[in-house]
Structures are given as C-alpha cells and as structure tokens.
Chains A and B, each alone.
Chain A
C-alpha cells in the first residue's frame, strides 16, 4: 500500500500562484529538491495534503532566477538556501538569506558543475 503521489509539471511563472493555492488547501511543505538534468535544472517542490504527496516539477535554465516561496511556506527558506549553496542557483526574495553560505564547503560542489569536469 502506497500513499497517493501526484506529479504536476508547471512553468516557473506559475510557481507562486500554484503554491498559494496549495497553502489555501491546507497543504504542508515536505521538501524542495533540485537536480541537474542535461543543460538545465529540475526543481521538485513536494507538499503533503493529509498523507497524499503533491509534487510540482519545473525546469529552469542555469542563468534563471527563481522566486522564493518562503513568503507562503516559511520553512522553504532552508531548502532554498541549501539549493543556492549546493547548486549555485539564484533564488530571490528569501525570508532568510544565508548568501549562498548555508553549507560551508572548501570549493563549489559538483552539483553546480555543468559537465562534471571538476568532479573528483
């Protein structure tokens, strides 16, 4: 038995309105995940609605700035800072900004690396 999971593909521009809608439905944020996909980044925003998982999936290009959802779901600021830190993406209007330094690593992590050249 597995709880219901719904994956919805959205455009970056829809993000804030979609997330506001989920807030009104009484959802709770579970996590934000970023992953490298070829030349772009894929973002997964996961929310919980009484046990069911709703996942908003969107693709952003490396130079793009993403809107922060921390004004709607406060705990999102940690995930957003994590993504800035590990992936080098820019997320604007975060509730708390660590300036890309939430994770203090000696060098940029290979997640951000385009071709994985600097992977060790």
Chain B
C-alpha cells in the first residue's frame, strides 16, 4: 500500500443528481458499509480532499462549481464519477439543461456504473482511485527525479 492510498479523504459534489447516488455515497459512510474503518473520511473542504466523488450529470452552472472544487484540491488527486449520470448524463442526457457527464468539466479517473450506483460499487471505485493516487504520486516523483538529473547533467 502506497503512501496516499492508506487513508484517502473524499469530497462529494452533487451535480444534477436525482439524489439516488448521493444517498448511496452517504450510505457508504454509515454503519453497514462503514468506509471510515479504512480511514476514508468525507470532508467538506476541497483542500483536505484526495478524491472527488461526483454524482449526477453536469449543467453549465454546476460545471463552474465543479472546476473550482477540483482546482482547489491538492495534488495528487483523483476523480470518481459515481453513477451513469456522472458518466454520460444517463437518462437525462437529452435534457436541455444538461452538458453531459462529469468529464465535460474535469478529468475523470474512475467511472462507477449503476443507476443508482450500489455502495459496494462506489467503495470499489474509491479503492481504484486510491491506487491511482499512488500511481500519480510515483509519476510525479519520477518526473522530479528526471528533472533533477537533467539539471545536474547541464
């Protein structure tokens, strides 16, 4: 287990969700599923968060908010699109006020299927995202190392 996947903190943003996936995200935190035992904590502050959980599709207004949250999160960070709406707009893809999935606004790392996504699937998605955090950190280190070597050579 890498440094970042040990206790990832998550932040949740509801795009234009119908609430179905939102309450399932919350259900992950409550006694039956209880992800807090793995050190996963739901925070309201983007600067404390490692993983961003997006539920629901995105409209023009929500896109701005989502970008702001994403930009405020420290690196390395990962994004999980929870549910079919966050993946593609789902059943609402044809609605006039929808842009589509979360990836219309920010880069997404993991897509969790389902309408509504089941807690087991959401937890699985968060675990995948936690590993991505480690990978991203390793890449970052490597880049830094290469840069240092390059400066030494010059």
Cα A68 to Cα B96 with chains together (Å): 28
Report the bound CA distance from A105 to B98 in whole Å: 10
Identify whether the interface residues of B are mostly helix, strand, loop, or mixed.
loop
Q: Would you list which residues of chain B between 52 and 103 have a CB under 8 Å from chain A?
A: 59-61, 96-97
Chain B 41-59 against A: per-residue CB contact (8 Å), 1 yes, 0 no? 0000000000000000001
| Docked CA distance A120–B96 (Å) | 6
Q: Does B61 lie within 8 Å of A104, measured CB to CB?
A: yes
Q: Which of A38-57 contact B (CB under 8 A)?
A: none
In this complex, the interface size class of chain B, counting residues with CB under 8 Å from chain A, is under 10
A119 to B94 alpha-carbon distance, docked (Å): 10
> Which residues of A from 18 to 76 have beta carbons under 8 Å from B?
none
Q: Is A9 an interface residue (CB 8 A)?
A: no
When C-beta atoms are compared, the residue in chain B nearest to A108 turns out to be B96
Q: For the complex, is A109 an interface residue (Cβ under 8 Å from B)?
A: yes
Interface core residue of B59, B61, B96, B97 (most chain A CB under 10 Å): B96
Q: Which residues of the partner chain A approach B59 to less than 8 Å between Cβ atoms? A: 105-106
Cβ–Cβ contact B96 & A110, under 8 A: yes
Question: Which A residues have a C-beta under 8 Å from some C-beta of B?
Answer: 104-106, 109-110, 119-120
12 other A-B residue contacts (CB within 8 Å) besides A106-B60, A119-B96 = A104-B61, A105-B59, A105-B60, A105-B61, A105-B97, A106-B59, A106-B61, A106-B97, A109-B96, A109-B97, A110-B96, A120-B96
Q: Name 14 interchain pairs, CB-CB below 8 A, sorted by A.
A: A104-B61, A105-B59, A105-B60, A105-B61, A105-B97, A106-B59, A106-B60, A106-B61, A106-B97, A109-B96, A109-B97, A110-B96, A119-B96, A120-B96
